[in-house]
Structure 1
C-alpha cells in the first residue's frame, strides 16, 4: 500500500440543486456550505447533501477535485475572487492525483479514522463551467474535472491534513494534467 500525505482544503455540501438546466437560465439559490467536517455513509454519500441516497448517483456519492486544478483554472483565465465551490465538487484535495484513483479503492484518514472509497468515474465538466468560472473553462477542464467515487464505509472527513492510502503510487507532479484522450484504432 502507498501512503500520500495531503490536505483537505474544502468540504462542500449543498442541500439543493443549483445547476439544473442550461446556464442561460441562471443558477438556483440554494446555499453551498463549506463545512469543517462532513459525515459520510456507505452506499449513500454525504449526510445533508442533495444527492444523499439517490440511486441515480451511485457512482457519484461523493466527488473530489484537486486544488491544483482549481489553481490552474484561476491562472489560465486570470480569475480573481473565485471560490472553489464553483467547480461543483464536494471535496477539494491538495497533493492527490485523483485521475490515478480511477478504478481504485482508497482510504482517507483526516483525523477521525480511515474512510474507504472506490474511484468510480472521472467527473466530466459541464457547460456551467463557462458561465460560473470563465468562457473556455469547460474545455480547459476536460480530463481533469475530478473524481466520482462510491463511499464504502461510514466515517467523517475534516478539513486539514489527511493521509490517503491506496494500492497505487500517486504521481504528484501530474496532478493538474488531463487524462489522456482515448485513441481509436484505424
Structure 2
C-alpha cells in the first residue's frame, strides 16, 4: 500500500492520529491447535516474529498480529456472545486507543520495538469453531493488522504504541 504524499490534504489527514495507543494483552501460539499462552511480555526478533510463537521464523510480513481492543465487543456482539477473550481470536497483541487500520503501510513503535504495518489480518476459517456459526463473518473488518518486525526488542503489556511520522512503506 502506498500512502498519499505527506503534504497532500489526504496525507495530512491519514497522518493525524488522536493519541498514542497502549498494549492491553499479549499472547503466543506455541503450536497449531493449542490454546494461546497469555504473557506479560514477548521478545520480538527482527524479520522473524515473536519468540515462542509458532509463526516465528516464517513470513516476515506476518511477524506479529495485532487486534483493536475496541473491536472485541463488536466481534462479541456480532457473533452472539456477551464477551470474547483475546486468546479466542488468536492475535498476538491487543491494542487500545489507536486505530490500527491507520498503521497499515506505516512504521510504528511498541515500546522499543519498531514495526511496519504490512496488511490487514483477515479472519480464518477457525473462527467458525472459535465463535460459532458466522464467526468468520463476525470478524470481517475487525481482524486487525499484520506487521513486520523491523527492529526487535521486548514488548510489554502496558507499552505505548506510537505511529512514526514520514515513514511510508509499500506492501
Could you state the TM-score of these two structures normalised by the residue count of structure 1? 0.74
Of 37, 42, 45, which residue of structure 1 is paired with 2:41?
37
Number of residue-to-residue matches in the alignment = 151
Alignment of 1:34-183 (within 5 A): 34-54=38-58, 57-80=59-82, 82-109=84-111, 114-167=112-165
Aligned mates of 1:89, 1:123 — CA distance in 2: 9
The residue number in structure 1 matching 2:25 is 10
Classify 1:15/1:77 alpha carbon distance in 2 versus 1 (closer, same or farther; 3 Å). Answer: closer
Deviation at 1:128, TM superposition (A): 1.5
Deviation at 1:146, TM superposition (A): 0.7
Deviations 1:119-155 (A, max 9, x none): 0111111122122113222113222211111001111
Q: Which structure 1 residue ranges, 4+ long, deviate > 4 Å from structure 2? A: none
Aligned mates of 1:135, 1:167 — CA distance in 2: 41
Aligned mates of 1:71, 1:82 — CA distance in 2: 7
Deviation at 1:81, TM superposition (A): 5.8
Deviations 1:25-64 (A, max 9, x none): xxxxx2421100111111111011111112xx22101000
Aligned mates of 1:120, 1:45 — CA distance in 2: 13
Deviation at 1:76, TM superposition (A): 2.8
Q: For the Cα contact (< 8 Å) 1:65–1:147, is it kept in 2? A: yes
Deviations 1:132-183 (A, max 9, x none): 1132221132222111110011111111252413338xxxxxxxxxxxxxxx
